[in-house]
Amino acid sequence: MHYPWWYVPVLTAPMLIAIIAVLHVLVSHYAVGGGLFFAVEVSHAYRTGNREYLAYLKRHAPFFILLTVVFGAITGVGIWWTIGLASPLATEVLIHTFVFGWATEWVFFVLELTSAFIFYYYWDRLPPRIHQAIAWIYAISAWMSLVLITGITAFMLHPGTWLESPSFWRGFFNPQFVPQVISRTGGAILLTALYVYLHSSLTLPGGEVRNLIIQRSTRPALLGAVLITVGGLAWLAFLPPSARMALEAAAVLTVLTVLIFALTIVVFVLLYLGPYRNPGWMTPGFAAALLLFGLAAFSTGEFIREAVRKPYVVYGVVLGNQILEKEVPEFRKEGFLQSGWWTRQFVADRYPQVIQNGRILPERLLQLSEQDRRLLGQVIFMHHCNDCHAAETGYSAVGPLLFSRPREMLVDMIRHLHETHYFMPPWSGTPEEAELVTDYLLSIAPERPRGIYPTLEQLEARR
């Protein structure tokens, strides 16, 4: 372990990333799609001289700014904050590889911010052509930041040829780049339409402008849904084999994959039946339902995107437990506790008797008392397993998975982690350390629930 591990009870630290990331994407896609919406619609309103439509767009702008510039921007920083806390090694790898991608994205952020504020605060003061130009600067900058960040996040799922020959460009233009740019662009367009429906249905009681908005937003929304589907299918096609298998093997991911397609179909059908065929249906309730379905589809998609990478954080490079894949043999040889600075210090502080010449002697670990063995087993659990598993209760808690397993089975399972479940990282410790983890796991394993299938002895007794 290169870095200390942050223990977040019940939830696990990486789940904080997922929570903040989901909240962020629900707004950041609107920030991108909204840029295109304003650029196209303001141009249309100026061209047709539709003052009422312009007035509506002006009313929509503060809603957009308050949501995207405040919540979107701060949660964006929040993701960065959280990945550094919960996944520091992966963040270090990403930053070293893509520092100039992020720096370039920052330039687009500056342009986004400046143009957004000028667009809003100088409405009615700038000549129409300049106002439109500013809107397009925002739209292009926002889309460019989507493209840049997608290159980096897509890399985490499938670095492609970067693994053989690491370079910025190989990493950036990875197999997942184009599919994800297509689906995210579609998502941005669709989600924006859904936000616009909700805002307009709440702020406009009816009339021509509302019909115009509904009419003009529906085709882009349908286009967005098509792009999501095309990008999503390409995403599936270009998944690394392990990620594709994870979708089939992990029941929760199978359910979520079905759910996301179902939600997309529901949104598509509602769009067609509602705003496209029956604009009169667009009441606040209908618009809110549409937006909720859209947000649910997005959240599901983001969760799947994060989950299918297992056992990696950066595919083929950084494992979920913050170890470089290439370090695993060394960890197995030297010992997990010995190989990490923080774990080694912990042992040195508590159990100096197991150390000789600065090295932890595995055989001495087994000579410790039962209580101490459990504690060291917990230390290994925290650093090796807690990134995906809570202990006794909480997210993917390991305790309930272990009930009544015999010790030998547990030890064997730990020593062959990635062979029993390929989406688990390989065991990265010595056989003695596997015994310590087993000691700990057995101490937190609950009793067999009452009423569940009986043991063989009980079945025999019943005969």
Partner 1 sequence: MMEPVDPSTLGPLPAPFWFIQFFKVLGFILHMVPMNLWFAGMFLTLVLYKREGHPRQWAERLATLMPVIIAFGVNFGIVPLLFIQVAYPWAFYPATILTAWFWLAIIGLLLVAYYGVYAFAFGVKPDRPMPAWRYAAGWVAAVFFLIIAILFSNGMSLMAAPERWKSIWLAHQVAGAATGTGHNFADSSLWHRWPMVLGMAFLTTAAWSLIDGMFFDAKADASYRQWLTKYAFVLGIIGAVIYVGSGTGYVFGSWPKEVFQYMWSGWRLPLTVLTGASPALVLVVLFLIRIRGLSPLTAALAGVAQLVVITLNAVSRQIVQNIELAHYAPVWKIPEKPDWGPMALFLGTFAVGTVVLVWMLQQLVRVHRGEPSVAES
Residues 247-276 that bind partner 1 (CB under 8 A): none
Query: Is 403 near partner 1 (CB under 8 A)?
Result: no
- Binding test (CB under 8 A) with partner 1, winner from 14, 34, 88, 429: 88
For partner 1, the closer CB: 190 or 444: 444
For partner 1, the closer CB: 122 or 403: 122
Q: Which of 392, 366, 394 is nearest to 381 (CA)?
A: 392
Helix H or strand E encompassing 266: helix 251-271
Query: Is 378 near partner 1 (CB under 8 A)?
Result: yes
- Binding test (CB under 8 A) with partner 1, winner from 379, 390, 398, 434: 379
Please tell me what DSSP assigns to residue 434: H
Please tell me what DSSP assigns to residue 272: I
- Binding test (CB under 8 A) with partner 1, winner from 15, 16, 225, 287: 16
For partner 1, the closer CB: 121 or 208: 121
Cα separation of 410 and 369, whole Å? 20
Q: How far is CA 393 from CA 51, 396, 434, in A?
A: 58, 8, 22
- Binding test (CB under 8 A) with partner 1, winner from 34, 78, 240, 362: 78
For partner 1, the closer CB: 187 or 435: 435
Count of positions (residues) in the chain? 463
What's at 192, amino acid-wise?
Answer: T
Cα separation of 420 and 400, whole Å? 18
Query: Is 40 near partner 1 (CB under 8 A)?
Result: no
Cα separation of 176 and 196, whole Å? 30
Query: Is 92 near partner 1 (CB under 8 A)?
Result: yes
For partner 1, the closer CB: 35 or 231: 35
* The one segment of 201-209, 302-310, 373-381, 400-408 that binds partner 1 by CB under 8 A: 373-381
Residue 45 CB, nearest approach to partner 1 (Å):
18
Three-state secondary structure readout of 8-21: CCCCCHHHHHHHHH
For partner 1, the closer CB: 109 or 235: 109
* The one segment of 32-40, 242-250, 288-296, 375-383 that binds partner 1 by CB under 8 A: 375-383
* The one segment of 71-79, 203-211, 250-258, 410-418 that binds partner 1 by CB under 8 A: 71-79
Which residues between 184 and 203 bind partner 1 (CB under 8 A)?
A: none
What's at 17, amino acid-wise?
Answer: I
- Binding test (CB under 8 A) with partner 1, winner from 19, 40, 95, 230: 95
Query: Is 68 near partner 1 (CB under 8 A)?
Result: no
Q: Which of 397, 380, 391 is nearest to 337 (CA)?
A: 380
Phi-psi sector, 39: left (phi>0), alpha (psi -120 to 50), beta:
alpha
Which residues between 161 and 180 bind partner 1 (CB under 8 A)?
A: 167-169
- Binding test (CB under 8 A) with partner 1, winner from 234, 382, 411, 434: 382
- Binding test (CB under 8 A) with partner 1, winner from 11, 70, 255, 409: 70
Cα separation of 375 and 351, whole Å? 11
Helices of type H across 158-207: 168-172, 177-203
- Binding test (CB under 8 A) with partner 1, winner from 10, 48, 51, 107: 107
Q: Please, which residues have CB within 8 angstroms of residue 26's CB and are 6 or more apart in sequence? A: 191, 295, 298, 299
Number of residues lying near partner 1 (CB under 8 A): 74
For partner 1, the closer CB: 106 or 403: 106
Answer yes or no: are the C-beta atoms of 224 and 33 closer than 8 Å: yes
For partner 1, the closer CB: 160 or 301: 160
* The one segment of 35-43, 118-126, 188-196, 426-434 that binds partner 1 by CB under 8 A: 118-126
Query: Is 127 near partner 1 (CB under 8 A)?
Result: yes
- Binding test (CB under 8 A) with partner 1, winner from 40, 43, 58, 84: 84
Q: How far is CA 400 from CA 167, 258, 311, in A?
A: 43, 27, 21
Residue 324 CB, nearest approach to partner 1 (Å):
10
Residue 349 CB, nearest approach to partner 1 (Å):
6
Which residues between 342 and 361 bind partner 1 (CB under 8 A)?
A: 342-343, 345-346, 349
For partner 1, the closer CB: 88 or 231: 88
Query: Is 113 near partner 1 (CB under 8 A)?
Result: yes
Question: Helix, strand, or coil here: 192?
Answer: helix
Which residues between 314 and 343 bind partner 1 (CB under 8 A)?
A: 341-343
Cα separation of 327 and 264, whole Å? 41
Q: How far is CA 196 from CA 200, 218, 291, 306, in A?
A: 6, 10, 9, 28
For residue 426, cis peptide bond before it (omega within 30 degrees of 0): no
Q: Please, which residues have CB within 8 angstroms of residue 78's CB and are 6 or more apart in sequence? A: 20, 24
Cα separation of 370 and 166, whole Å? 46
